[in-house]
Structure 1
């Protein structure tokens, strides 16, 4: 019973934290303009946006390629183990 009440209190605390954080972001977000805070004009801010977007896509592609390579290495390792086991069982036969 006590554990159940404790879990409900924790859930309420987490929900309140999420609501307060969301409200803070929604209320403060429109008031803060990062480009103006850094003293950038529209052209420089646009160039920076596209550069960061390009870097983001590059990081995405790099992670996909890396995960594909890791998956390929894993699949090759499994395939080599299966071949080895099959060869051993064939030799025993």
Structure 2
């Protein structure tokens, strides 16, 4: 006999809301991978005087819906460009995409 599960849980259910406390910038970039963010930061810093301001955030820190809302209100809505690299597709960061 098999017992069917009646509830489901995801890693997002375990996430606590956090405020990244970032200040607004012209360009914001989000990714799940630290190497993406580190590479972008290094390239940006190489010519920072000529480039607009930029903020980076790890998507793992924005898993809770309240964290996403706080970040959008304080950072993203002020940005001129928002770059999001979602590894694994839309379902990995559904709330943020919507």
Whose strand fraction is larger, Structure 1's or Structure 2's? 2
- TM interval, shorter chain, is under 0.3
Greater RCO (Cα-Cα under 8 Å, separation 6 or more):
2
**Structure showing the higher helix proportion among its residues:** 1
Using the size of structure 1 for normalisation, the TM-score is 0.21
Scaled by the length of structure 2, what TM-score is found? 0.21
